[in-house]
Structure 1
Amino acid sequence: MCLIILAWKVIPGMPLILAANRDEFYARPAVDAAWWSDAPQVFAGRDLQGGGTWLGTTRDGRFAALTNVRSPSERRTDAPTRGALVSDYLTGSMSPTDYVQQLQARAQDYNGFNLLVGDRETLLWYSNRGQADARNGRPLDYGVYGVSNALLDTPWPKLTRAKAQFASLLCQGAPEEAFFEMLTDATRANDCRLPDTGVGIERERMLSPIFIRSPDYGTRCSTVLRVPIAGEPVLTEHVADPMAVQYSAESVSEGRCRIPCTPREDDRPA
């Protein structure tokens, strides 16, 4: 993922509400969110190149999500895939705290990342960049948070814009579709507000909206995840058409598919 906005323990009875966009090269193969045949408790998309995932949940309310930290000067071509950090948590049984603790010894093997891991009671943010609270795993108190391709709540224009819209929708009790509409906002930031991450001004401009579009890279899918205090999570994914989004964010609606996480009766384990 390249943009994650979430409300943690803000809404009674709903510990987590999360809205996210996954931005990636169109040529990188992936499959849409579904129940995994080799890990039937996991509902997530899958990166077919690296084998991991960017966001997912489980039947018992565990969840995890990942963004890359944009730092081209520090990028290593021999680093392991960061998507495994999400899939390893979802397919395992460790608590969020235990998982982060065991990750610390090998975290520097990876290129820069932000990792959110949680269950119905605990949510941790962990990064292999930044200060001690990031590198030790920071438990999040109740509130609205956001992360893009810098550390948690770094006020890049896309993040501040998305957090404001997300908080407003929460206050309105808006339906799920309103969160997806928020995630298709293709407004670019003014140059004076752009960060300098080492990719050049033209690419900073292209990467500045909530919803990204370009000839070869952009928002591949949008996700809304709700984890209730009781019952199964519901993950809904809208998949963008890579060819269409080069021209108009509105055309993403033509490529949407809605996939609730709650399984059908014939999908439930015997």
Structure 2
Amino acid sequence: MCIVLMTTAHPDYALVAIDNRDEYILRPTSRPHWWTARPEVESRVPNGGTTNGTNGKGSTNGNGSTNGLGKGSPAGEVEILSSRDLQRAARGTWLGITKDGNFAILTNYREAITDVAAHPVCGVRSRGSMVTAWLRADPAETTEHFVHRMLAGNGVKGVGGFSLICGKLRKAQEEKNIDPLSIISNRCDHAGQVPWICGQRGSVYGLSNAIYVDQNGGFDEEESSLWPKVQKGKTLLSQTVADAVASSCSETEFIASLFKVLDTDDFPLDHSTDVEQAVRSLRNSIFIPPLGGKERQQEMEKARQHGRDNHNHPPSAETTEAVARPDEVNGFESGLYGTQRQTVILVDWDGNVTFIERALWDSHGNAIPKGEGDEIFKFKVEGWEARVE
């Protein structure tokens, strides 16, 4: 079960966001890269607003390369930074950000009751396409308009349960703050039920695989706000920020401490337990170790042997082709399950973004030593100080 933790408590950063993607480790997934897309036609704003386009400036990844931006992008296209799911034809993602500051993170909603027709566990439409719907939106579209658009008509219909944190990374005009982010869910009946977060300094937020309810709402045992992993994650993130401020540590040291939060392993069961039997226990641990019984372990070994036979050549970051696996509507269940990717995102008060994704496994199921699978991107949000009306 994935987890997202976010805070506005660090004085040097407008936003700090960290994320664990928990998934079947063999699920084919690209590495993070810059890619371009034309804004979706239906995302045009009612008053006739159009895209702002891009300026074609390059952006380094921390290793001196341009991540595909140096050549510029065609006029009218948006530039998107994300990994992409190669399992489904939609090529969606769970987390991404655009050069214009559209930002989104997705968590699945794990149903307690699986036979409710109105709330399918798996839908004919990809959850990951909900993220790209915002990343590919017209840069002139406001978050509020997108919320209303998605919850009206068929915007979130036909999709398995999900929560989508999304919004524009913009510095607020009135005070040292940022414009708030929304949490869209297809368990919301209307836009008035959508929570808004990160609009106040000194706050910390957590979300896992259940609906988000803020402090003004009621709680029950299914809501992720009460899960042990979320409660502990919020506590650890708050303490990590406080320690970083007190010690005036460097950004490199701060990032290392954030990954340490994501590495917190409190999983209570034997690792040979199949994920189907471990569902409720997944609520206890921020980090999920690789889980699976004998059959899943054999699938992992088969994948590793396939990699050895093919000299362990992984797919490139930019590939959009599935890795010899079918496009399944009901998900991917092969090999062990656990934390597959980890992400740390920092946004400072000048709109400078540091985006770090850590791969823990290669495409053949071999463990990657921590840090050796890191991809680092740095860029400045275009329009950071502009108001979007």
Pick the TM interval, shorter chain: 0.7 to 0.9
Residue 218 (structure 1) aligned with residue 218 (structure 2): no
Pick from 99, 103, 111: which aligns with 1:63?
Answer: 103
Alignment check: 8 A CA contact 1:7 1:17 kept = yes
RMSD: 2.6
- 1:146 partnered with 2:206: yes
* CA distances 1:155-208 after superposition (whole Å, capped 9, x unpaired): 111111111111111112261111011111111259xxxxxxxx8653322563
**How much does 1:77 deviate?**
4.3
Task: For 2:276 and 2:341, locate their aligned partners in 1 and report how far apart those are by CA, in whole Å.
Answer: 25
Q: Which residue in 1 is equivalent to 2:158?
A: 109
TM-score, normalised by the number of residues in structure 2:
0.58
Q: Distance in 1 between matches of 2:342 and 2:100?
A: 23
Are 1:129 and 2:249 an aligned pair?
no
AA in 2 matched with 1:258: E
What pairs with 1:138-217 in structure 2 (closer than 5 Å)?
138-140=195-197, 141-142=199-200, 143-152=203-212, 154-173=225-244, 175-188=254-267, 202-206=278-282, 208-212=284-288, 213-215=290-292, 216-217=336-337
- Alpha carbons 1:34, 1:259 under 8 Å: kept: no
Q: Name whichever structure is richer in strand by fraction.
A: 1
SS at match of 1:41: strand
- In the other structure, the counterpart of 1:48 is 86
Moved more, 80-89 or 209-218: 209-218
Residue segments in structure 2 that go unaligned for 5+ positions in a row: 38-76, 171-178, 213-223, 270-274, 293-335, 381-389
Over 3 Å counting, the alpha-carbon distance change for 1:77 and 1:163 in structure 2 is closer
Q: CA deviation at 1:37?
A: 4.5
Match of 1:98 among 145, 156, 160: 145
- 2:236 partner SS: helix
**8 Å CA contact 1:226, 1:235 repeated in 2:** yes
Percent identity between the aligned chains? Answer: 28
1:252 Cα deviation from its structure 2 partner? 4.8
Q: Quick check: which has more Rg, 1 or 2?
A: 2
SS at match of 1:164: helix
**Cα separation, partners in 2 of 1:78 and 1:63, compared to 1, 3 Å:** closer
Q: What's the counterpart of residue 323 of structure 2?
A: none
Equivalent position SS for 1:47: coil
- Greater relative contact order (CA < 8 Å, ≥ 6 in sequence): 2
Distance apart, 1:228 and its partner CA? 2.6
8 Å CA contact 2:110, 2:121 repeated in 1 = no
Give the distance between the partners of 1:91 and 1:227, measured in 2 at CA.
21
Show structure 1 runs of 5+ residues with no match: 191-198, 246-250, 264-270
TM (normalized to structure 1)? Answer: 0.81
